[in-house]
Amino acid sequence: MQSTQPDLDDLFRALSQRERRQTLRYLDRQDTPVAVEELATTLATDQQRHDTEQVTLALTHKHLLLLEETNLVERTSRERVIATDATGAAIDVLNTVCYYFE
């Protein structure tokens, strides 16, 4: 796993969308890499959506790319992702912000 901490502006950009926040929270609870389809199914269920394919596309082409660029997730293969060392710190920031503002 990578240990590079994201820039603060990049971190807040990564946390600015619900799908990415849910992704980080889910991956942070997993001990092993997660298939993108499993992640998409989980997010679709959490959001009460039936279009898992659309969620998969958004994850693959938008959300996971940004999270990977920010070093908050790492692709272990084309179809699997895992949290990085920086993910826990990002979750701490997210929880603190949510405590005061959500």
pLDDT at residue 6, as a whole number: 80
76 phi and psi angles, rounded to 5 deg:
-90, -25
Instruction: Note the pLDDT of residue 34.
Output: 96
Q: If one looks up domain 8-101 in CATH, what number appears?
A: 1.10.10.10
Residues 6+ apart with CB under 8 A from 79: 35, 36, 37
DSSP state letter for 62:
I
What pLDDT shows up at residue 35? 95
Distant-in-sequence, close-in-space partners of 86: CB < 8 Å, separation ≥ 6: 2, 3, 4, 5, 6, 71, 72
pTM above 0.85, yes or no: yes
Q: Where are the domains of the chain?
A: 8-101
Question: Running along the chain, 102 residues long, what does each successive block of 10 average in pLDDT?
Answer: 73 94 95 95 87 92 95 90 93 90 77
